[in-house]
Amino acid sequence: MSRIGKQTVIVPKGTEASLAGTTLTVKGPKGTLVRNFPGLVTIVINGSEITFTPNKLGDRTVNALWGTYASHVKNMVIGVTEGYTKKLILEGVGFKSEVVGKMLNLALGFSHPVKVTIPEGLTVTAEKNNVSITGIDKELVGSFTASVRAMKKPEPYKGKGFRYNDEVIRRKQGKKAA
């Protein structure tokens, strides 16, 4: 039994959800999200409530997908009403970040500048050494933020590199003078 799958997802006012076959569409003030859910779990929309019931009880994959589908739908509803934001902090002497059009230009201490294309549906702002990534799709915001962070992970001696806003980097002592 899935604890998350048993919960109902409440659709707030100003947001509407519709199901066409196995495709769920959620429209809200921030935009529209569409996702296909294969028929292993039945999704039922009653007014402003969305419920989930597995087609085969006891099957491990169906039980796993029961909670997963519920989480995806909940993330879709939150995304179109509030949106998602991830923040990265760039630390290091000479490290810079700026947004030019649909490109994120980074100076990360390499011999060349690093240019990253911003995916459609995301808004990226870079002021000083703070990069803020905003969008309605939680999965897209998280994956793009992780790919930018992977370009220069924080190192443990001086803390140089990208780190999340709430991330704590454990520092190492380094060499001692004799």
pLDDT in tens, 89-99: 999 999 999 99
Q: Is the pTM of this model over 0.75?
A: yes
- Could you tell me which CATH number the domain at 84-164 has? 3.90.930.12
Percentage of the chain exceeding pLDDT 90:
79
Q: What is the mean pLDDT of residues 54-63?
A: 85
Of the listed ranges 40-49, 61-70, 71-80, 169-178, the one predicted with least confidence: 169-178
Domain range list for the chain: 3-81, 84-164
DSSP assignment of 41-52 equals EEEEEETTEEEE
Q: Provide the b/e sequence for 108-118 (b: ≥16 CB within 10 Å).
A: beeeeeeebeb
Let me know if domain 3-81 sits in CATH 3.40.50.720: no
Same fold, 3-81 and 84-164: yes
1-20 confidence digits (pLDDT tens): 678 888 999 999 999 999 99
